[in-house]
Amino acid sequence: MLTKKLSPRKLSRLFLCFLSSVLLLTFSVLLVLRLTIFSPNYLINQIDETNFSQSLADETNGMITQQLRGYNIPPDLISGLVTPATIQSELSHTIENAYDNQEHISINSQSVGNDLVERLNTYLAHNPNMNADEGVVETAGSIASDIYTRMTSMSFIRTGVSMLLEFENMVFIAMIATGILWLLLSIITFLLLRKYFHRLLRYIAYASLGSGLMTIIAPAYLLSLGLVERANTQSQAIHNLLTSYINNILYTFLTIGGIFVLVGLLLAVVSELLSKKIRQQIKTQKEEEETYNYGSYLKKMN
């Protein structure tokens, strides 16, 4: 019975369907990677969504305050020294340079140091009883500038991006090749089954369901483990950014997989309805033929 049902023709169609689902899965994975980790805009959007600039500005100001505590500098002078807007412009510049494979050069570190020096000079001018030589003021500005540079260098991002760029062309070529192969395979399947539209829809449903389920399983498993949330980082701002960055990629896979599954289920339902309609038409046609043949037989008997 199994040999009857799985004829060579059906096996070949199922094999084409399996190949189609694998190619569709590969193409969707490469497309998501191309639009996320290989795109500077995705990282910049994640920085905006997690309010990373505000968090990093607060941490940088707190770090400067802590380092300059021994200089008896009032914390109010450091408050607001590094603003979210300053961080945002610095990060955009850093990310663009990383994806352009250029050397990182801070664009705001000098201005942060100069701003603190100016604040200290203004404070000392209004408080002549405070004794501080020019060397201490310049040292404080230099420390603030160095801390700002270190906090905004994002070395882990630049290292990761430099590694990714080595595979960028390979991923793009693989994505185009996979898309072309999937399109050719879809055309072949269409030519084989164009006379049987309900069967064509059924095999498309199989391919869509297969690729959708394969797209969902791995991201769902990784999200259930919660490994990203448990990652240990010194900076809470960086922890929040990395968590959002990785989780949103996984959620993108889940969304695409869910769309594939829904499309597959919809096509399967439509295919089954068309199949039932065809079976009903065949049954009606047979009944009409039997009625006609029986009527012809009665006429001959008479």
Residue 254: pLDDT band with limits 50, 70, 90: very high
> Does residue 137 share a domain with residue 63?
yes
* Residue 188 within any structural domain of the chain: no
Mean pLDDT over each residue of the chain, to the nearest integer: 82
pLDDT exceeds cutoff 80 at 1: no
Do 32 and 48 share a structural domain?
Answer: no
Q: Are residues 112 and 87 in the same domain?
A: yes
pLDDT tens, residue by residue, 126-140: 877 666 566 778 888
| 29, 52: one domain | no
**pTM value?**
0.76
Question: Whole domain around residue 265: which residue ranges?
Answer: 2-39+195-301
User: Quick one: pLDDT at residue 295?
Assistant: 55
* Predicted pLDDT of residue 138: 87
> Band of the pLDDT at 299, cuts 50, 70, 90?
low
Q: What is the pLDDT of residue 3?
A: 45
Same domain, 211 and 241: yes
Confidence (pLDDT) at 300:
59
Question: Does one domain contain both 147 and 217?
Answer: no
Q: What are the pLDDT digits (tens) for 83-99? A: 999 999 998 888 888 88
Q: Is the domain of 59 the same as that of 105?
A: yes
Last residue of a domain, one of 142, 161, 180: 161
Per cent of the chain over pLDDT 90 is 22
pLDDT in tens, 205-228: 888 888 889 999 989 998 888 877
Can you give the pLDDT at residue 2?
A: 44
- Place 159 in a pLDDT band, splitting at 50, 70 and 90: confident
Burial of 19-41, coded b for 16+ CB within 10 Å and e otherwise, reads bbbbbbbbbbbbbbbbebbbeee
Same domain for 90 and 146? yes
Q: What is the pLDDT of residues 163-214, one digit of tens each?
A: 888 888 898 899 999 989 988 887 887 777 666 677 778 888 888 888 889 9
DSSP secondary structure string for all residues of the chain: -HHHHS-HHHHHHHHHHHHHHHHHHHHHHHHHHHHTTT-HHHHHHHHHHTTHHHHHHHHHHHHHHHHTGGGT--HHHHTTSS-HHHHHHHHHHHHHHHHTT-----SSHHHHHHHHHHHHHHHHHH-TTS---HHHHHHHHHHHHHHHHHHH--HHHHHHHHHHHTTHHHHHHHHHHHHHHHHHHHHHHHHHHTT-HHHHHHHHHHHHHHHHHHHHHHHHHHHHHTTTTT---S-HHHHHHHHHHHHHHHHHHHHHHHHHHHHHHHHHHHHHHHHHHHHHHHHHHHHHHHHHHHHHHHHHH-
**pLDDT value of residue 168:** 84
75 and 155 housed in the same domain: yes
Q: Higher pLDDT residue, 236 or 30?
A: 30
Per-residue confidence band for 265, with pLDDT thresholds at 50, 70 and 90: very high
Residue 177 domain-assigned?
no
Q: Give the DSSP per-residue string, 34-100.
A: HHTTT-HHHHHHHHHHTTHHHHHHHHHHHHHHHHTGGGT--HHHHTTSS-HHHHHHHHHHHHHHHHT
What does the chain come to in residues? 302
Same domain, residue pair 287 and 220 = yes
Give the per-residue pLDDT at 73: 80
Task: Decide if pLDDT at 16 tops 70.
Answer: yes
Last residue of a domain, one of 110, 138, 161: 161
Q: What is the tally of structural domains in the chain?
A: 2
Average pLDDT value for residue range 238-252: 90
- pLDDT, tens digit, for every residue of 35-61? 898 888 898 899 988 899 999 999 999
Take residue 150 and report the two structure tokens written for it. Answer: 């270190």
Whether 179 is in a domain gets the answer no
Same domain, 199 and 264: yes
Position 170 in a domain: no
Instruction: Indicate if the pLDDT at residue 253 is higher than 90.
Output: yes
Write down the pLDDT at residue 259.
92
Asked whether residue 91 is domain-assigned, the answer is: yes
Q: For residues 63 and 96, state if they share a domain.
A: yes
Work out the pLDDT band at 240, boundaries 50, 70, 90: confident
